[in-house]
Amino acid sequence: MDRAAPASPLLAAAIVDQLKAVGVKRMFGIPGGGSSLALIEAAGRAGLEFILTRTETAAAIMAAVTGEITGTPGVVLTGIGPGAASAVNGIAYAHLEKSPVVLITDGPASAPHQAFDQNALFAPVTKLQGRLRPENGAAEFAQAIATAMTPPWGPVQLDLTAGDASAPVAGATPPAPALPSPAPPATMLGKAGALLAASRKPIILAGLEARHRGAPGALGRMADALACPVLASYKASGVLPASHPGFAGLFTGAVAEAEIIDAADLIILFGFDPIEIIPGRWPHQSPVLDLCAAPAAALAVEPTCRVIGDLAKIAGALAPGLTRSDWTAGEIDTARRAMAETLALRGFGHTAQTTVEAAARAAPAGARLTVDAGAHMFSTLAAWPAEEPFGVLKSNGLSTMGYALPAAIASALEEPARHVIGVTGDGGLLMCLAELTTAVAQDCRLTVIVINDAALSLIDIKQQRQQYGSRGVRYASPDLAACAGAMGCRAWRVEPGDDIAPVLSEAFAANGPTLIDVVASADGYGDQLTRLRG
């Protein structure tokens, strides 16, 4: 006989209601025995999905990626103590890469077992920490959502005990506060307009803020009006389509693109976050006009003028004063070719470059790429023509390994019709391999491509450069196709000499998750890095 379902846990239900009200569709995590159970129950009743992952790190990355691509908060639930601690890396990603995330941890503990100050643990990587209680929880939760969603976006962390989650809230549930939209000060716009008017050869460096709302369109119109080159940060790949005549390549923050930036007489940062510039001296002399959505940490360079506000509105206000620059199409094309040459990977057999070029040729229209951290990343991004914002998902500010697969799962859940391709090193995949079972359980339409060189190649190169002995960077890699097959995922192993094209076609035609384990060469990475970074 069916037992009657228990009455809704009230604070938990109020939390779920607010999440639904701001557009949240799913939560990620691994429940502990406490408040997460009440939240999952309330979510189930309210029609909000709960995605059970294999690690809290992957859950937090999935939530952060969901927050980035949807512009609504990603939500993570964890248990107390170890569950909460395991989420830190994904929350650090959300913090450094400006993604709105709400993390609800069970706790605080009432006894020494599994007890530590969870608010203190998350303080360095969240915008707000707190504890939800029945008497103020609904209001504080509304405030937490607003904090996560106020530019610069970021994660918030809230403790919630099982008892509090199931207690009735006091007072009415407040609506989520309206989010502020700062207007750019007119004086700054005047100075920005004067800099633009004085420039004959401006260059635009587009950053991660340029991916949101109306910013990509505004960027394209500015690039067209100025007829100037645009470099995109890794995360901004696709904000100006790779096929656009103004697209000059990636901003890697290194010597690769120095020549074209040095040829410019004005550097326009368009939504660039300081985290996207690798540490070191700013080598360029020209004045910098910084157009940004939110005040952030100090840039490596003091801008001549900074305008803070909605990027589309700022660009719209500056548009009437823009005139065609002196750049020629030939100069921009030469820069694009030089960048491709700098990034060319000269290895043997299958390499990251040959593999991703083949994947790009075979990929279904509109496919999205996710990429992990490691030596394979440079060639992957260079070989993939991103045609739209979020066409590429990457951990850049944190540059965490174990990212490409969870990010691909988040993408597949949010946009099931869009095929997503996760390119990863073997080291990075082995950090999150178990999430293949999540992809299988959710029937995600994704293909993992492993550039399997049985080494932590990026670290291997650095070790070799320092002329240290080869220790601690190589291992015998397992047969990853066999591992994936055992988890219910269709998988292939591509050996040197095998034709990868038919395998890619089959994998991309499949509806569920697939994995291609490419036995690849690491030759050429060291030389490539020297050309890229000097």
Ligand X SMILES: Cc1ncc(C[n+]2csc(CCOP(=O)(O)OP(=O)(O)O)c2C)c(N)n1
Residues of the shown chain interacting with ligand X in the complex, contacts defined by CB under 6 A: 372-376, 399-402, 425-428, 451, 453, 455-459
CA distance 532 to 255: 6
CB nearer to ligand X: give 282 or 348: 348
In terms of Cα–Cα distance, which of 310, 385, 372, 391 is closest to 69?
Answer: 391
Count of other CB atoms within 10 angstroms of residue 82: 11
CB nearer to ligand X: give 15 or 369: 369
Count of other CB atoms within 10 angstroms of residue 445: 23
Please state, in angstroms and as integers, the Cα–Cα distance from residue 66 to each residue in 24, 157, 167, following that order.
9, 17, 30
**Least distance from ligand X to the Cβ atom of residue 428, Å:** 4
Residue with tokens 């939530």, as numbered in its chain: 63
Angle among Cα 125, 164, 33 to the nearest 5 degrees reads 75
Closest residue by beta carbon to ligand X: 425
CB nearer to ligand X: give 327 or 525: 525
CB nearer to ligand X: give 196 or 518: 518
Q: Are 15 and 137 in contact (CB under 8 A)?
A: yes
**Least distance from ligand X to the Cβ atom of residue 89, Å:** 6
**Least distance from ligand X to the Cβ atom of residue 11, Å:** 35
**Lookup: tokens for 146:** 């607003």
Upstream peptide bond of 274 is cis (omega within 30 degrees of 0): no
**Least distance from ligand X to the Cβ atom of residue 460, Å:** 7
CB nearer to ligand X: give 158 or 456: 456
CA distance 75 to 50: 10
CA distance 201 to 357: 33
CB nearer to ligand X: give 373 or 413: 373
**Least distance from ligand X to the Cβ atom of residue 35, Å:** 28
Count of other CB atoms within 10 angstroms of residue 22: 18
**Least distance from ligand X to the Cβ atom of residue 408, Å:** 15
CB nearer to ligand X: give 18 or 400: 400
**Least distance from ligand X to the Cβ atom of residue 501, Å:** 22
CA distance 308 to 305: 10
Q: Are 345 and 397 in contact (CB under 8 A)?
A: no
